[in-house]
A = this chain, B = another copy of it.
Amino acid sequence: MAKKTLTTLQTIAERLHLSVSTVSRVLNGKSNQYRISSRTQQAVRDMACQLDFKPNQLARSLRLRKTQTLGLVIPDISNPFFAQIARSVEIEARRHRYSIILCDTQESTELEIESVRLLRSREVEGLILLPVGQQSKHLTNLQTEDFPVVIVDRFLPDLDLPYVASNNYRGAYDAVCYLVNHSHTKIACLQGLPGTSPNERRVRGYLDALQAHNIAPDLDLIRGDSYGSQTGYDQTRQLLSEKVSVTALFALSNLIALGAIRALVELNLRIGEDISILCFDDQPYLAYMDPPITTVDQQNTEMGRLAVRLLFEQLADETIEKKNVLLPTKFIERKSVKNLCLERRNKCTPKH
């Protein structure tokens, strides 16, 4: 028997010969404020429980102008890096009794635009936005209209919105220093999507680290155009057919590394011996590869949590100054980088 007539305040009110307002007040804990007798209170609560009353959040939100909902816009939820962030966002939001509407933009700016519009149409109170990152025009609205939003991971230079991201520059800088300290000088950089901030910052870190060690960067060693594994594979094959002298690969994402590794295996190159590799984004499996891959880990969980926290600060206090946060990365040394010459050890400190 489907109970098709859903329970509302009205249902309860009628059964008890009360008004909806009274019922509402009781269930919202405003009994004292409005002097509802404890007999009535009990009756209302009992009936609500008996009928399994679930308040209609739509009506509530409409009236209150508060939806207790955040929008989460993400380029690809199946990417573990993003999924980890999504998880901590959801958990942190739930702690505040907020729900998450999820939009996967499939790395398409068009879908991103549509998603933001949709979410605003659904009256989310704020947005956690992981932008595709190559365009920002559509986001300036958010800025000018002062809509609560926190940008995560990829931020956009000409946009003054609060963001939280890894300190990609520093992470890359340190990683390359590590390579150099292991006597690598011919280091290829397998980059992700050019024009996106993590990529640009990492490339910059790569270049600066080289220069800090008086190694003239060879721009031809910077290859690639996406964070995916196919790029890693293609570029590695291409590169090694041209530049046989490369001794190390610096992959700017774990997927790129995965592709590169496949190429290396096909080329019968032993990782950590014939060629070294080091990549961004630690993932559980990287510790189990043979050899285990040395990585630059990002604090994904912290990133999500912090984003939500910054967003709530905006919601609570509209005049708060917009903060930007760069989270430190963590270098995880494993066995994929060979020390070419144990003698040589330089000091290494970043420029910025």
A262 proximal to B (CB < 8 A): yes
Other-chain contact of A87, B3, B104, B118, B123 (Cβ < 8 Å): B104
A118 contact from B77, B99, B289, Cβ within 8 A:
B99
A222 on interface, CB distance cutoff 8 Å: no
Query: A288's contact among B59, B106, B262, by CB below 8 Å, is which?
Result: B262
Number of copies: 2
Tally of chain A residues near chain B (CB < 8 A): 56
Taking CB atoms and an 8 Å cut-off, the chain A residues in 111-146 that contact chain B are: 117-118, 120-123, 144-146
Knowing A59-B62, A83-B80, A258-B285 are in contact, say whether A102-B104 is a contact too (CB < 8 A).
no
Q: A130-181: which have CB < 8 Å to B?
A: 144-146
- Knowing A78-B86, A100-B101 are in contact, say whether A91-B62 is a contact too (CB < 8 A): no
CA distance A99 to B62 in the complex (A): 18
> Which residues of B lie under 8 Å from residue A145 when comparing CB positions?
2-3
Whether A56 sits at the interface, judged by CB under 8 Å, is: yes
- Cβ-closest chain B residue relative to A4: B146
Q: Within the complex, what minimum Cβ distance (angstroms) separates A47 from chain B? A: 18
Q: Does A1 contact B (CB under 8 A)?
A: yes
Known: A87-B104, A101-B100. A120 touches B54 (CB 8 A): yes
Known: A57-B121, A121-B55, A123-B56. A258 touches B101 (CB 8 A): no
Q: In the assembled complex, which residues on chain B have CB atoms less than 8 Å from the CB atom of A54?
A: 117, 120-121
A341 close to chain B: CB less than 8 A: no
User: Is A290's CB within 8 Å of the partner chain B?
Assistant: yes
A77 touches B86 (CB 8 A): yes
B80 in contact with A87 (CB, 8 Å): no
- Say whether, besides A86-B77, A91-B106, A100-B102, A123 and B289 are in contact (CB < 8 Å): no
B123 in contact with A57 (CB, 8 Å): yes
A1 to B146 alpha-carbon distance, docked (Å): 8
A90 at the interface (CB under 8 A from B): yes
The verdict on A90 contacting B102 (CB below 8 Å), with A2-B145, A145-B3 known, is: yes
Cβ of A255 to closest chain B Cβ, rounded Å = 7
Are B72 and A90 within 8 A (Cβ)? no
**Which one of B62, B76, B286 lies within 8 Å of A62 (CB-CB)?**
B62
Q: Does any Cβ of B come within 8 Å of A67's Cβ? A: yes
Instruction: Supply 14 further A-B pairs (C-beta < 8 A) apart from A58-B61, A62-B62, A90-B104.
Output: A2-B144, A54-B120, A56-B121, A57-B123, A79-B83, A86-B102, A90-B102, A91-B106, A261-B288, A265-B288, A265-B290, A288-B289, A289-B290, A290-B290
Interface CB pairs A-B, < 8 A, 20: A1-B144, A2-B145, A54-B121, A58-B61, A62-B62, A83-B83, A83-B86, A87-B104, A90-B102, A91-B106, A94-B104, A100-B101, A100-B102, A255-B284, A261-B288, A262-B288, A265-B288, A285-B289, A289-B289, A290-B290
